[in-house]
Amino acid sequence: MKIKWTPSPNFSSRTGSDIDMIIIHCASLPEGEFGTGYVTDLFLNRLDLRAHPSFGSLKGLKVSAHYLIERGGGVLQYVDTDKKAWHAGVSSYGGEDDCNRFSIGIELEGDVRSEFTKEQYGSLTGLCKLLVEKYPLITKERIVGHSDVAPGRKSDPGAFFDMDLLKEKVFS
């Protein structure tokens, strides 16, 4: 699998935490517009806040994910998986807070109102298989959506994402 390294400064140490979870997200900037490159700009702290009226609320935001999968299936990596990317925000799962400490964040270029592409599912499946092989504590039950770790605050990846299909393909 070809992965384009695009380093983000938005990460910190995972000291003392085992990686045992993958969190699936979706993002587009502006929301519902794809192929703009603005998500990468946000993760690299170079987003021009004047480029769209909705960007004003992002001022000073420092976020990242480990990976982004574009609509055509291209994979970009922003943070080394051994580091803590800043993707889940205030989060909790199974009684553990700060899910960033023990998870890998994968963004799909998209939104909660749109179908994801066949190419995205293909790349996501391949990437998850690689990650499960490298981090064997990641089980089928530990691949979750952002909405699972931040319920009420986040709704991604949304109803159009087929989590069951992903898990079936990754663990078959």
| pLDDT for residue 15 | 86
Per-residue pLDDT of the chain (172 residues; tens, 9 = 90+): 999 999 999 999 998 899 999 999 999 999 999 999 999 999 999 999 999 999 999 999 999 999 999 999 999 999 999 999 999 999 999 999 999 999 999 999 999 999 999 999 999 999 999 999 999 999 999 999 999 999 999 999 999 999 999 999 999 9
CATH number of this structure's domain 3-170:
3.40.80.10
Phi, psi of 93 (to 5 degrees): -155, 130
- How many CA atoms within 13 Å lie on the side-chain side of 85? 28
Instruction: Estimate the share of the chain in helix, then strand, then coil, as percent rounded to the nearest 5.
Output: 25, 20, 55
Res 64: pLDDT: 98
Distance CA 101, CA 18 (A): 8
Q: Whole-structure pTM over 0.75, yes or no?
A: yes
Q: Which sequence positions are flagged as catalytic?
A: 107
Domain boundaries along the sequence of the chain: 3-170
Sign of the CA dihedral running 152, 147, 23, 69: negative
